[in-house]
Structure 1
């Protein structure tokens, strides 16, 4: 083995759901490996610590957004941000993970060196100082969007004299009581903000350029709450989780096979919630089929209740100009506003915007193929989490963590320092490429040029079918003939030659 060991066996980037999940899986399944979590912020939670807008909540049920190893026991399965942070805090404290988190540590760059079989990672601390860490394996749990910069649609706010706020940078002291608010957007963030702000504001208008498919469900899972009373906690959780996974999968496949049937069901439910006299079908009729973009969850029909009360409304139109006192639409209609909320979406980022390199050569992820939705072609000792678009994020985080633990254990068992999915030029030439995301969402379409490549066939793809992925990731052998295992001290030169031939 190498004469000088790295600082850690595994360096985990990000102390959100993905990073915490990996640490917990390692403690249970690869306990002989050392690790540290580096987190750029001063608190754990990732998304759930960053976003502070009114009503911040999950848009997936917590029986699937929760981890497979830790039951969700709150009465509400559609949880708010504070409840999710409480869940994560409990996990890191009960499992001794917090002592391994280094807050205020932002990863700037990471270079893997074959001859040392380790990553050299440059860190910027909160005080501006820099340091370096080394690790044999790098696990990126840094999420999928840019924490520093949201999507900018290029609005010119011109003569508008009120406040303009993006949900990603919500001010703590915003007073909107009695104010007129226009929320621009029709996605999950807007649908969350509108009913909550409507409780205090004079009126809230959700201004949508195009409608979004919405569906309502109770925030409480009745079956889950009953099962917890009569069954052991973990068994009740497993049953509820399995039920919700099946429902998610069934609903998605039904929408793809019979979109017109699903449309009619969604319209019917909204009409029932709003009442026939208030239901305007055009406001809820997107120009795409259900699940061509992610459906918007309306828990307990809260948005529709706010609309019925007259405290909120939905307006469909295009912005002509921002004027003193509000927003002018191309139709000529003027929307009064003291505050404008630009819930216009996220900007995707790959690998947490870290400058990743291999033997000093920059890694361009858009040139690499995904391997099992977890690793990348010809890039050693690195794994990442990019959650499902048609199901809960944590479902992939769990199976990726489990897979990486199996890889780590195999490396330890075989005395290997390096694990890399090898894709030769000959095999790459045979690959039929697939659209990495069969979704029409704006934030997806805007970011395809930076995304890794995707094959039509497993394993060189980021798949969107959890039930299939779970079985294959758990059952297929780690040493599958594509994931190569080597020792840096005895085979570094031969391994380097193999990689250069593959690239």
Structure 2
């Protein structure tokens, strides 16, 4: 039976992945009197972990920081997709959040009504995709940053001529049997690094075809401190909190190391590979032209990718594609690769707006025409926030939980001052620097470059750009929503005098238990 959609709630969260669950937990614990719904187009929770079902799918962050601060992780640092889905389900059940989730619910339109101070939401719901309409005072986008319905596959010449099977990892066929098949995996990022060793166990042979080399982090799938604390019978919540703090500290130290000493860091990463590969293989296939901090490191727990190469079950080829042939791929070098299956691990399509048609009082707008405040709010767009996590060394969930607290404080401010809406002002610069496409996605990955034109602009000072965890863990909680950066309005649309309300004491705030704060 499909649950109904209420006509009106205080908050609507779009997306039932990690960010959406973090938002739901924050709303339930910090604003228990507010009504809210979490809407998701899939038939269940999970987001990425529901759509990505390819062989070996696993996290590329440790679960102590990729997991929630409020739910201890008790397994190995790197977890399978199935384990992560179970963990998320347990979080929803343990905190009694099930009643707020509405699955198979796809939002197609959102219009802000400044007279009523409401977002009017339209979409389709249930297996029959029945139309629905609802309204909310605040809209919270937690659907991620890429298009779940379609992955990115380059338009290679004569792609349709291939006589075998072409699969994008986002659309892996359930129960697909590749036993004894020759497989080419195009790509060298985290997805390819996961697919190649997993498929190599059953396939006849797997070739990883990359345009250019990637850095890989090689480490055992264990955390010695966590293991020691568990052996000492320390409570799981305390273990989770301590190890989470330790990992975030180590990540920050390492990021500063690779930024300050890029050549040394590059040499250190490459130095780990000769244990599996020849010097010639390392130089040709695993020595990137960029520096380690410019893209996320691909994870190879226990060196599984390199074990597959060493054992002869997998091969790496660095070349570019001239065309697809009936039997495989013709390379620019003149070589050819034959295959029964081609897997296009070639990345995502950026989609920052969730494929929703947005408008203000009936007039359409595009997020790329706005200026983004810390990647969370957008100029002249009232009562809307977006949760997007870290994309380099720090994990996605660390930032989503910081943003969850940010949004809950913002809602508390609206209640305290009697305002109905809040929006962020267009930034001003004494230097005359204009907004530009900046650090909304601070990344050089191909999907970020392809989709840069669809990103919001960033402002002239650092507060208008997304920062790193060690800045934001202190700066986000310190933001004053009655400051001149923000515009507060009453039900009549008139501005609330921030100077008069700034001194009003906060009431009814709820403090999280110390153990929940973790590294966040």
Question: Do both proteins adopt the same fold according to a TM-score greater than 0.5, normalized to the shorter chain?
Answer: yes
1:115 CA drift (Å): 0.7
- Aligned length, in residue pairs: 488
Quick one: distance in 1 between partners of 2:167 and 2:70?
A: 38
Whether 1:286 and 2:288 are equivalent positions in the alignment is yes
1:207 counterpart SS class: strand
User: In structure 2, what is the equivalent of residue 408 of structure 1?
Assistant: 411
User: In structure 1, what is the equivalent of residue 100 of structure 2?
Assistant: 100
* Partner of residue 169 from structure 2, selected from 147, 167, 170: 167
User: In structure 2, what is the equivalent of residue 255 of structure 1?
Assistant: 258
Alpha-carbon deviations, 1:140-179, whole Å to 9, x = none?
A: 0011101122113102325421111110100012111111
| Structure 1 pair 243–431 and aligned structure 2 pair: CA distance change class (3 A) | farther
User: In structure 2, what is the equivalent of residue 143 of structure 1?
Assistant: 144
1:411 CA drift (Å): 1.3
TM-score (ref. length: structure 1): 0.93
Whether 1:393 and 2:406 are equivalent positions in the alignment is no
User: In structure 1, what is the equivalent of residue 246 of structure 2?
Assistant: 243
Mapping of residues 15-30 of structure 1, within 5 Å: 15-30=16-31
1:492 CA drift (Å): 7.5
1:236 CA drift (Å): 1.4
User: In structure 2, what is the equivalent of residue 264 of structure 1?
Assistant: 267
| Structure 1 pair 109–244 and aligned structure 2 pair: CA distance change class (3 A) | same
Whether 1:61 and 2:62 are equivalent positions in the alignment is yes
**Structure 1 unaligned residues grouped into runs of 5+:** 496-503
Mapping of residues 346-425 of structure 1, within 5 Å: 346-390=348-392, 391-423=394-426
1:62 CA drift (Å): 0.8
Mapping of residues 336-347 of structure 1, within 5 Å: 336-347=338-349
Equivalent residues of 2:58, 2:80 under 8 A apart: yes
1:406 CA drift (Å): 0.6
User: In structure 1, what is the equivalent of residue 124 of structure 2?
Assistant: 124
| Structure 1 pair 358–432 and aligned structure 2 pair: CA distance change class (3 A) | closer
Whether 1:439 and 2:440 are equivalent positions in the alignment is no
Equivalent residues of 1:453, 1:461 under 8 A apart: no
Quick one: distance in 2 between partners of 1:493 and 1:393?
A: 35
Equivalent residues of 1:115, 1:492 under 8 A apart: no
Alpha-carbon deviations, 1:108-152, whole Å to 9, x = none?
A: 010111110110000212413211010000000011101122113
Quick one: distance in 2 between partners of 1:91 and 1:52?
A: 21
| Structure 1 pair 129–492 and aligned structure 2 pair: CA distance change class (3 A) | farther
Alpha-carbon deviations, 1:443-487, whole Å to 9, x = none?
A: 010011010111252322222x11111101112323222222221
Quick one: distance in 1 between partners of 2:203 and 2:497?
A: 67
1:429 CA drift (Å): 5.5
Alpha-carbon deviations, 1:58-86, whole Å to 9, x = none?
A: 11111111112221111x11111011001
TM-score (ref. length: structure 2): 0.90
User: In structure 1, what is the equivalent of residue 89 of structure 2?
Assistant: 89
1:419 CA drift (Å): 1.3
Quick one: distance in 1 between partners of 2:306 and 2:280?
A: 10
| Structure 1 pair 317–201 and aligned structure 2 pair: CA distance change class (3 A) | same
Aligned-CA RMSD value:
2.1
**Structure 2 unaligned residues grouped into runs of 5+:** 1-5, 499-520
User: In structure 2, what is the equivalent of residue 452 of structure 1?
Assistant: 456
User: In structure 2, what is the equivalent of residue 31 of structure 1?
Assistant: 32
Whether 1:483 and 2:469 are equivalent positions in the alignment is no
User: In structure 1, what is the equivalent of residue 506 of structure 2?
Assistant: none
Equivalent residues of 2:186, 2:346 under 8 A apart: yes
Whether 1:325 and 2:327 are equivalent positions in the alignment is yes
Structure 1 stretch 40-49 or stretch 224-233: which is displaced more? 224-233
Quick one: distance in 2 between partners of 1:16 and 1:427?
A: 41
| Structure 1 pair 467–456 and aligned structure 2 pair: CA distance change class (3 A) | farther
2:464 counterpart SS class: coil
| Structure 1 pair 39–434 and aligned structure 2 pair: CA distance change class (3 A) | closer
Quick one: distance in 2 between partners of 1:213 and 1:426?
A: 38
1:299 CA drift (Å): 0.8
Quick one: distance in 1 between partners of 2:431 and 2:402?
A: 26
Mapping of residues 291-330 of structure 1, within 5 Å: 291-330=293-332
User: In structure 1, what is the equivalent of residue 114 of structure 2?
Assistant: 114
Quick one: distance in 2 between partners of 1:247 and 1:17?
A: 23
2:78 counterpart SS class: coil
